[in-house]
Structure 1
Amino acid sequence: MISRQRRFFGKRLNRINIKAINRNAISLLNYHIRVLRLKPADFSKLDERVSEALVNYKLHLRPRCKERLYLPRKELGRSLHSVELRSKHMLQELINPTILKMENTNETNLAQKKRQKSKKSLEEAQLAKLYNEIEK
């Protein structure tokens, strides 16, 4: 995923490039979410690596303000998709009794989901999490 992001590192970080990162790099998880067998902590580490890469390539010049990357543009953020919450959304779409049974035997991230949440509630959860981190 980081290697796909590097294609955009020579350019300015604007709305179009953020959309391209969301589509090309982060959407890679859509295809590989069931194959990778990542734990919940791994998704937050991926989020950290994405923000570190943006800071290292000087595309996001405020490393202490990582929450701003994930805020919507209408709230003066960058609208970058959170890998952690994107993975939760993708796993919610995969909920099926047979899949859930298989995931319970493998003890993956999907096994920890007890009930289905809508995409809207996941977005609200992301915003609530960001606001809590900003207030700290």
Structure 2
Amino acid sequence: MEEDFESVDFVIQGKVTDIKDLDYSNIESTLAYRLNPEYVDSAGYYVEINVSQKFKGSVPDTIIITPSWSGCDFFFRINSEYVIFGYRNSDGHYHTNICTKTFKLDDTKLNRFKAVIEKGN
């Protein structure tokens, strides 16, 4: 987790307030949609995050996580909270993927994460 913290552009805690999958004109043809037919209703991308805590990097109070539309996309659920390890590309878009340490908030993982943060300071 410590290496991942160092390698990403930002680390935040936030709640998913909206998912805008329908902005993608051909979502039915994506691998993610074919693997999960309920993709649009349950999880996915153009995920709006209300940022409650910033651990690393400079991000606004609300960000949109955008897709790469690959098997590496991280699936989010609306109204759930996450700690997100992510990147900002040259176009200014925010991204994450399943290979980062992004996780759905729970006490055990949050305590482990905070121990890593404190160790680094």
TM-score grouping bracket, smaller chain normalisation:
under 0.3
Q: Between Structure 1 and Structure 2, whose CA radius of gyration is higher?
A: 1
Judging by fraction of residues, say which structure has more strand.
Answer: 2
- Bigger relative contact order (CA 8 A; separation at least 6): 2
Output the TM-score relative to the length of structure 2: 0.26
TM-score by length of 1: 0.24
The structure whose residues are more often helix, as a share, is 1
